[in-house]
Structure 1
Amino acid sequence: MHRGVVYALLAATLFGASTPFSKILVGQMAPVMLAGLLYLGSGLGLLTWYALRSLFSRGEKTSGDRLTKSDLPWLGGAILTGGIAGPVLLMIGLTLTPASSASLLLNIEGVLTALLAWFVFKENFDRRIFAGMVLIVIAGILLSWDERPELEIPWGALAIVAACLCWAIDNNLTRKVSASDAVQIAGIKGLVAGSVNLSIALALGYSVPAITSIASAGLVGFCGYGLSLVMFVLSLRHLGTARTGAYFSAAPFVGAVVSLLILGETPSTVFWIASALMGMGIWLHLTETHGHQHTHLPLSHAHSHRHDAHHQHEHNFPWDDNEPHVHPHEHEELTHSHEHFPDIHHRHKH
């Protein structure tokens, strides 16, 4: 299985598994307070990991792919849309919309992510990928359809759709910096988003929960938001936005399975139908093949790599032949043909 697929499914598993635990915690504090603590736990945990990794490696293997000044506008836009605006809009929507309707509408994120990637950022797709995305999204909708939604007032629904659009923009902007250190990217996003959301909660007058609830939220946030986002960024690097978003749409299925295990729920007929649809959608993506003659334009960037067909360069520093390794490097123009995904080296036009 392609490593990008593994990263995407791990991201979906971690995020999906966190949903049932978040449902338990939301009964102990206000939703906006929980959102802040989840993001803050993610940011603090990842930045601690980043600092320890840099300390023990002495910066030798982690400095090359750090964020640069040119990455900051993309990362800033991702934090503003996905880490701040998205959660606030979701909280507004939840106050006006039934929970069943909200769960249903949140599945729009995957659709909007793919549409933006395909038609705004010009990422390649074909009928097989489109069909797989449709099946996965339908499966997510079925899993969320606990009861028929009644949207008498559309403002709450519009707020949730706007939140999904914010996260879709976030996903596409994050792809622009996905060659950089995934731990650093996810850590900064979590720390900034968590601080802002927590400040909003305190400004609204919500009380600080018990220390045990704070610790639990931080742990859930580190795993379900932090580590999940690291895996998501790594998948963006290898698969592109739309395909990563499609695999990540499996998260509702994982959440449903975990709910069955820890909450003792009984699977319904809808659950098995959704499972079959999601399985078919993922199979369509796993069996995708895309190859043609293409030209790589000159490119300079830094990321972990091996000296393969795309990395035939000299080193202007002492190198011990260890791979993979990280350092800024340049790609010369290259024309060849092979199967590929729209990863960081294959963002060409068709």
Structure 2
Amino acid sequence: MHARHNAAFTALLAAALFGATTPLAKTLLGTLSPFMVAGLFYLGSGVGLAIGIVIQRLRRTAKERQNESRIQVAEVPWLLGAIAAGGVAGPALLMLGLSSAPAATSSLLLNLEGVFTAVIAWVVFRENVDVQIFLGMVAIVAGGVVLSWQPGGTAVSPGALLVVAACVAWAVDNNLTRKVSANDAMVIACLKGLAAGSVNLSIALLLGAHLPGVGKMAAAMLTGFGGYGVSLVLFVVALRNLGTARTGAYFSVAPVFGVALSFFLWPEVPSLSFWIAAVLMASGIWLHIRERHEHPHTHEILDHIHRHRHDEHHQHTHDFDWDSEEPHTHPHQHAPITHTHAHFPDIHHRHIH
């Protein structure tokens, strides 16, 4: 499969896992408070990924551990900002909004996350966009609106404004995470999960909620591990390879996966709005996949650490004994180079147009 299709598939798989969380949550956790649900989901993702990281590192050789990617000091503010916006503020604002906003309104407004993500990426971080990508984004968002639209459920209330604020927080999170996406995706997702889980669980307990039984707690944390943890790992990998706006667009199709799973769990004939939404979102995905962005561009000197092969962007020597194994991870420098090829705004192509 072509690299661009691999990257798109990664983003769509992240969306599918996240979208499946909603109907699964309905079957598992109908009696818990919103903050308790969010806390257990996020904590499950953080703890599950932490276990995975420990197992992964125990299996690595000493040389692999020495060269593995580590978050640099200059990147820490970006990561802390992402955790504060997406792991703390976003969930808290959403749960507060859900307590007073109608469900239909909330579902409709959550589609704004993809819009805000793209706008921040395009306006603030100057990520490139052309007509085809813009139209694809419009089609995907329109599909989300159709899917969640219910007449009479769109009144603007304080709760609705809190949901909008949550979307802004997650959009900021997505764009800040882009700045650290070259690092280990599992570590980034783990830190976010532990932070968000601790905050939401603390709020739930302070508001008088009690921890559920062991069985329900385990089910919640396992659901969170897949729907929030693994999904976020895939999302970070997609950010690394696609850029923020495109990854956000693909991730915006998550609701259609959730609705599809709901039809499977509770069999019924899909409504017309589902098929209209599916066609709109599929059209948006098609527009994104068929994109070919190609022009002469210059790579400036860049020092970083990430898993790579010795492709046209990684023609460097090693200051250690290399056994010719690829891909591998170590600190390396990119020499200036000017060339032309099709590319996304990935970690090597964040240039101004």
Fold match, TM over 0.5?
Answer: yes
Alignment deviations for residues 114-140 of structure 1 (CA, whole Å, 9 cap, x no partner): 000000111001000000000001101
Alignment partner of 1:8 out of 6, 11, 15 = 11
Q: TM-score, normalised by structure 1?
A: 0.97
Aligned residues of 2:91 and 2:196 also touching (Cα < 8 A) = no
Deviation string 1:36-72 (CA, Å, 9 cap, x unpaired) is 0000000000010001100011354354212222221
- 1:147 is displaced (CA, Å) by 4.4
SS of the equivalent of 1:57 reads: coil
Contact 1:81 1:167 in 2 (8 A): yes
Contact kept? 1:28, 1:213, Cα under 8 Å = no
Structure 2 runs not aligned, ≥5 long: none
Partner of 1:138: 142
Question: 2:63 aligned with 1:81, yes or no?
Answer: no
**CA 1:88–1:59: 2 relative to 1, 3 Å:** farther
Report the alpha carbon displacement of residue 263 of structure 1 after superposing the two structures with TM: 1.7
Aligned residues: 349
Q: Which runs of 5+ in 1 are unaligned?
A: none
- Tell me how far 1:12 sits from its aligned partner: 0.5
| SS in structure 1 at match of 2:306 | strand
Cα distance between partner residues in 1 of 2:69 and 2:330: 7
CA distance in 2 between partners of 1:59 and 1:276 (Å)? 50
For residue 6 of structure 1, report the CA deviation from its aligned partner. Answer: 1.6
What is the DSSP-based 3-state SS (H/G/I as helix, E as strand, rest coil) of the residue aligned with 2:320?
coil
The offset of 1:318, in angstroms, is: 1.0
Aligned residue for 1:313, secondary structure, equals coil
Which residue does the alignment assign to 1:311? 314
C-alpha change, 1:113 and 1:59, in structure 2 (3 Å) is: farther
Residue 114 of structure 2: aligned partner: 110
Q: Does structure 2 conserve the Cα–Cα contact (< 8 Å) formed by 1:113 and 1:242?
A: yes
Q: Distance in 2 between matches of 1:318 and 1:58?
A: 14
Distance 1:26 1:54 in 2: 34
Cα distance change of structure 1 residues 61 and 17 upon mapping to structure 2, 3 Å threshold: farther
Counterpart-to-counterpart distance in 2, 1:60 and 1:22: 42
Whole-angstrom distance in 2 between the partners of 1:257 and 1:144: 13
The residue identity in structure 2 corresponding to 1:313 is H
| 1:124 match | 128
- State the 4+ residue runs in structure 1 displaced beyond 3 angstroms: 58-63
From 160, 169, 174, the equivalent of 2:172 is 169
Cα RMSD after superposing both structures = 1.2
Q: Shift of residue 100 of structure 1?
A: 0.5
Structure 1 counterpart of 2:340: 337
Residue 190 in structure 1 maps to residue 196 in structure 2: no
Q: Percent identity?
A: 57
